[in-house]
């Protein structure tokens, strides 16, 4: 009787199928059973085990009493003060999470600096953003530091990251009030408002000097003699892009007549800015900063 021989193609197919199925299971099982991070688990990840909430204190902004946060004082089993925490909720239509909502644990160290920002659920957006890297930029900073040097935004997701950054800055301000008092906070706030004074109709434009995206210097005195139009935009914001292009059509007839200077300020990278605005009718006249 002739002995049957194994079909190598069939064997290879079966082995490959088993490997693929195993790989898919390894990837999908954690996703299926992945749960939101509990507050207790988040505390353990930041401060270690055997920690507890000693007390909770509510703090509000003096200029906006309806804006506030509750801070938990965290201690270890020896009642040694480790820091404090608060949880912030972010809601935005660009978030693909349930109810378009995420929660972040913001932990401060014993000196009032941001120790860690920990997402309590996965941040789902249409863009692939390294949120861990973004949050790491806040570590070691308090409200005063964030005023002096704002944290840069990730290029991929402007609208959500602006909202998150503003919310973190807000709780940092509340933490600063808790640590240093309202008077110290108001002093910082006053300096910020003076530094970022809003120009109103009739105000004279302050002298300035900057560089465009090609490294060329731009001085305010060089722009004198013509009307100056300054446009500030975000190349990751859909509505900003749409409105800027609409304005572009109106502006083109004045720019080409040489009646105005056009200073175009973008908060995003050179590549992203040119990707969205490189086809502008006025690209040859724009001084992009």
Per-residue pLDDT band at 28 (split at 50, 70, 90): very low
Position 68 in a domain: yes
213 plus 191 within the same structural domain: no
226 plus 183 within the same structural domain: no
97 plus 128 within the same structural domain: yes
pLDDT of residue 24: 57
CA dihedral for 246, 252, 255, 257, sign (positive or negative)? negative
Position 18 in a domain: no
The domain boundary, picked from 139, 169, 195, lies at 195
Return the closest-CA partner of residue 162 out of 256, 270, 240. Answer: 240
pLDDT of residue 245: 73
Return the closest-CA partner of residue 237 out of 138, 159, 161. Answer: 159
- Which CATH number characterizes residue 233's domain? 3.40.30.10
137 plus 164 within the same structural domain: yes
Q: What is the CA radius of gyration of the chain?
A: 26
Position 202 in a domain: no
Residue 64 belongs to domain spanning = 39-195
45 plus 131 within the same structural domain: yes
172 plus 65 within the same structural domain: yes
Give 210's contacts (C-beta < 8 A, 6+ positions apart): 217, 218, 289
The domain boundary, picked from 195, 221, 255, lies at 195
138 plus 281 within the same structural domain: no
pLDDT of residue 135: 94
130 plus 268 within the same structural domain: no
pLDDT in tens, 199-253: 677 777 778 777 777 777 888 787 777 777 777 777 666 667 777 777 776 677 7
Alpha-helix residue ranges (DSSP H) falling in the chain: 8-33, 39-47, 131-136, 143-148, 158-180, 182-195, 238-255, 270-277
237 plus 98 within the same structural domain: no
pLDDT of residue 169: 94
pLDDT in tens, 161-201: 888 999 999 999 999 999 999 999 998 877 665 555 666 77
d(CA 160, CA 116): 19
Domain count, the chain: 2
| Unique residue bearing structure tokens 């080409």 | 256
- Interval 93-106 mean pLDDT: 86
45 plus 171 within the same structural domain: yes
Position 91 in a domain: yes
- Interval 258-275 mean pLDDT: 71
- Interval 33-53 mean pLDDT: 86
Cβ(256)–Cβ(231) below 8 Å: no
Position 66 in a domain: yes
Give Cα separations from 274 to 83, 217, 265 (angstroms). 44, 19, 12
Q: What is the DSSP letter of 111?
A: T
pLDDT of residue 93: 76
Q: What is the pLDDT of the chain when averaged over all its residues?
A: 79
Q: Please indicate whether residue 285 or residue 148 has the higher confidence score (pLDDT).
A: 148
48 plus 136 within the same structural domain: yes
**Cα 168 to the chain's mean position, in Å?**
9
pTM of the predicted structure, to 2 decimals: 0.64
d(CA 47, CA 43): 6
178 plus 43 within the same structural domain: yes
Q: What is the DSSP letter of 99?
A: G
Return the closest-CA partner of residue 107 out of 97, 120, 98. Answer: 120
- Interval 1-25 mean pLDDT: 61
pLDDT of residue 6: 55
| Unique residue bearing structure tokens 């644990």 | 105
The domain boundary, picked from 195, 227, 258, lies at 195
């Amino acid at each position: 009787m002739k002995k049957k021989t194994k079909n190598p193609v069939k064997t290879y197919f079966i082995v490959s199928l088993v490997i693929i199925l195993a790989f898919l299971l390894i990837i999908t099982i954690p996703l299926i059973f992945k749960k939101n991070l509990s507050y207790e688990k988040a505390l353990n990840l930041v401060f270690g085990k055997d920690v507890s909430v000693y007390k909770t204190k509510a703090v509000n902004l003096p200029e906006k009493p309806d804006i506030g946060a509750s801070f938990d004082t965290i201690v270890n089993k020896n009642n040694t003060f480790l820091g404090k925490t608060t949880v912030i909720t972010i809601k935005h239509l660009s978030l693909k999470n349930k109810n378009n909502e995420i929660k972040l644990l913001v932990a401060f160290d014993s000196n009032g600096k941001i120790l860690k920002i920990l997402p309590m659920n996965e941040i789902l957006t249409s863009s692939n953003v390294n949120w861990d890297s973004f949050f790491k930029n806040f570590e070691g900073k308090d409200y005063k530091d964030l005023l002096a040097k704002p944290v840069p935004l990730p290029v991929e997701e402007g609208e959500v990251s602006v909202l998150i950054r503003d919310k973190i800055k807000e709780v940092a301000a509340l933490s600063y009030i808790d640590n240093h008092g309202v008077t110290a906070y108001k002093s910082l706030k006053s300096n910020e408002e003076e530094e970022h004074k809003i120009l109103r109709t009739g105000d004279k434009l302050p002298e300035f000097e900057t560089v465009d995206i090609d490294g060329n210097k731009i001085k305010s005195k060089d722009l004198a003699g013509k009307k100056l139009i300054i446009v500030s935009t975000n190349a990751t914001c859909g509505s900003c892009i749409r409105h800027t292009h609409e304005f572009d059509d109106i502006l083109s007839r004045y720019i080409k007549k040489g009646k105005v200077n056009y200073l175009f300020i973008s908060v995003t990278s050179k590549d992203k800015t040119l990707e969205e605005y490189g086809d502008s009718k006025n690209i040859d006249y724009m001084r992009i900063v």
